[in-house]
Amino acid sequence: MSGSDTSVEMTTAASSAAERLRITEIFHSIQGEADAIGWRTVFVRLTGCPLRCVWCDTEYSFYGGNWRDIDDILAEVASHGARHVCVTGGEPLAQKRCLVLLQKLCDAGYEVSLETSGALDVSTVDPRVRKVMDLKAPDSGESKRNLWSNLDHLLPHDQVKIVIASRTDYEWAREAVAEHDIDQRCMVLFSPVHGAVEPRALAEWIIEDKLPVRFQLQLHKLLWHDAPGH
């Protein structure tokens, strides 16, 4: 093999490695939350998360997964014939090449959303993507990880989601929304932790305090009770 053949092979291997992501699952279902609730959606779940929220319902995505070429991922997404694609995790932004996937999905004409923890920088996410960004309330055990500067990178089509496990979480969320004018930046979603706070109690607190936020229950939990693949 000549020197130039070797360098071509090395370049090919490097560019192929640069186009791969570790994927836990790709599945076709109904979007269960946020602005696109109810739409038939393809979910691309990336493996890995640097956080450990106590109420996490996707711990199976922390480890394992399979390396997949981004072009392969795009082909599988296309095979489901859905207009909406949700890139989720784990924490998808923990893999830098997630940004490439998001861009390519947008280029292909999908309505793309990204579910992210709010702990990693979102400033370089393609502006066509609808970010659904968590702020972690105290009972998650991870509120120290909130990257508040992310609020400055939200666009009007984005959403901030706060998962609430207690009255303490609710009061924290209420103060955070007011202090940072989050509702002036984008839609704010308050969602109860299943089994921790009564959904009706959360709804009544929101009404009582006349909050500018949207209450949500996770539709996929009502439909499929958290079974993987939905």
Burial of 225 (0-12, 13-18, 19+ CB in 10 A): exposed
Cβ atoms 68, 27 nearer than 8 A? no
Kindly tell me which of 91 and 169 has the beta carbon lying closer to ligand SF4: 91
* Residues in a beta bridge with 52: none
Q: What angle do CA 183, 188, 192 make, to 5 degrees?
A: 145
The span from the CA of 132 to the CA of 57, in Å, is 17
Buried b (16+ CB within 10 A) or exposed e, 9-19: eeeeeeeeeeb
Applying CB under 6 A, the site for ligand SF4 has a residue count of 10
Span from 10-18, 36-44, 48-56, 188-196 in contact with ligand SF4 (CB under 6 A) = 48-56
Kindly tell me which of 58 and 146 has the beta carbon lying closer to ligand SF4: 58
Tokens at 85, concatenated:
């694609």
Binding pattern for the stretch 110-129 against ligand SF4, x by CB under 6 A and - elsewhere: -------x------------
Binding pattern for the stretch 61-100 against ligand SF4, x by CB under 6 A and - elsewhere: ----------------------------xxx---------
Instruction: Let me know how many helices (H) and strands (E) the chain has, helices first.
Output: 7, 9
**Residues 23, 49, 85, 120: which binds ligand SF4 (CB under 6 A)?**
49
Span from 32-40, 51-59, 98-106, 181-189 in contact with ligand SF4 (CB under 6 A) = 51-59
Give me the least distance between CB of 148 and ligand SF4, in Å please: 16
In the three-class reduction of DSSP (H, G, I as helix; E, B as strand; rest coil), residue 84 is classed as strand
Binding site for ligand SF4 (CB under 6 A): 49, 51-53, 56, 58, 89-91, 117
